[in-house]
Amino acid sequence: MKQVLYFSAEWCGPCKMIKPQIIDLQSQMSIMFIDADASPETCKTWNIRNVPTVLVIKNSMEIGRLVGTTITKDAVINLYNK
């Protein structure tokens, strides 16, 4: 089963703009919201260097990544469906 990890931070302007689009996708896919500031070890594990970042995970392995302004609802759907 695939899962989406959405890394963001409270202070991040782009994160605030993108979050509603990610929330809209919750009815279509499993999404975990991760606060990068509160979860530094998780960020280290997944090599998160910038927020917002979206990872698509399958069988505990990253199969796709979107960072920053490349994150749109359609881009997440396309990445998830690959």
Q: What are the residue numbers of the active site?
A: 12, 15
Residue whose token pair is 């890394």: 7
Sign of CA dihedral 60, 16, 26, 78: negative
HSE of 6 in the Cβ direction (CA atoms, 13 Å)?
24
- Per-residue tokens: 43: 């960020």
